[in-house]
Amino acid sequence: MKVKQLCINSYKPPVQSQNWASSLFLNLYRCNSQQISRHLHRLKVNNVVKGGQSFIFGEEKVGLAVGVKGSCYNAGGEVARKARLYGFGTVVLTQNELNIKETSQVISGLIQANYKYKLLGDVAQEKQQSDENNDQYSYISDLHVQENIFEDSYFQQLVQMAQIKLYARDLANTRQEGTPQYFVDEVKTLFKDNPNVEIQILQGKQLLESQLNLFYAVGQGSIHPPTLINLTYRGNKDSQHLHALVGKGITFDTGGLHLKSYGNMETMHLDKSGACNVLAAFKGAVDMKLKVNVTVTLGMAENAISNTSYKPSNIFKSHKGLTVEINNTDAEGRLVLADCLSWTQATYNPTTIVEISTLTGACAAALGENTGGLFSNNDELSSELLEIGKELQEPFWRMPVTDEHKDMMKGQFADLCNIGKSKVCGASKAAAFLFNFVDENTPFAHLDIAGPMDSKADKGIYPPGATGFGTQVLLKYLVNKQE
């Protein structure tokens, strides 16, 4: 089950002139506003939930008054849940005490929380279709906002970015069908007829022919050939700048011969989240017709176990020319990314590179499930990404990469090893490994989203499953790079 994309419409006040039967009327107030108490009294409240939001249910119609305190995005998430709880498929924004920026964030949060991914059997599908045909909605399908809000550019941008984030979730939530070939088919369907998009595919032994030996090694144990997918969009042909995004796309990670234990493998279909977010951000840039040039590289491979799996103690020469000793087959993502970063830089010489991946459990241990790690060789790039993340409720925290971390990744029998000499500072060591494959003069940022890649509860802007965390940051970054 994928929730249908929310349809957003504008209307001219007054709301009484419209015919919205069986709709949820949404009223937004600043928390502790006197208007809330007056509204409660006028609607003859029979149910109030305290703690930041006040929910109002009248005798003849249903209204929802939200006193916004703290995150506007989370307030929107609560609206989506209450509408779902009481079976409203249509929400109408009527009274509003917030400014347009705050209102836009509420609606963005509503869109992000109004999502569910579940594969239904035949009987459940029939029931769902019957419910929709009889206007018995479990998710919001229509939203009506005042004309002045609908036409605001900030509102339009946040809505587009939120909807693109849902697409990233759809991609990441795929299970066994989400193979490297699935993503090849997806990009061809999306962009094959777009004259502004160039598609380049390297699959299986073609990776070896292009010296992407690390990348190939990770996927050589799978029946699904490892695949590099590169997409380039030139939205500003008068500009010499080209910005690169790189995403880790391990379609399933068993850990390889260093097999993951029970409890650590069940969500590894989400180890492709970085690539899914990059593809979604790229699609957003194309759909929005951004005046920016961007190239994206997706490293798609399955880290499986077979008689052809790569082994501990193997030594491979990377695309960069550096040799790497394999000390742990479960440190595979950095191998794929190393070759992707080197290949992207050698092929396009981009102005900046931003890479995103579910790279280390150590980063999740350090920062938790709501914050991603940011590692960069450039202060200006770091500051920009941190500010974007703060604005869009996809926060990152800058982490260090020091000479100590770099020394830990030096190999005994090769130039580098893929796991390091010590069990400490795993997130910084992984970032230090990647830094070897990017020119030090090229502004580069590595985003580790291992912590916030998935949600275990229905809370805030996130239902259970893939979150799409980081997608909006990437897209907003490209928006800012327009010339």
Catalytic residue list: 260, 334
The angle formed by the CA atoms of residues 396, 380 and 467, to the nearest 5 degrees, is 25
Closest to 43 measured CA to CA, from 30, 54, 29, 33: 54
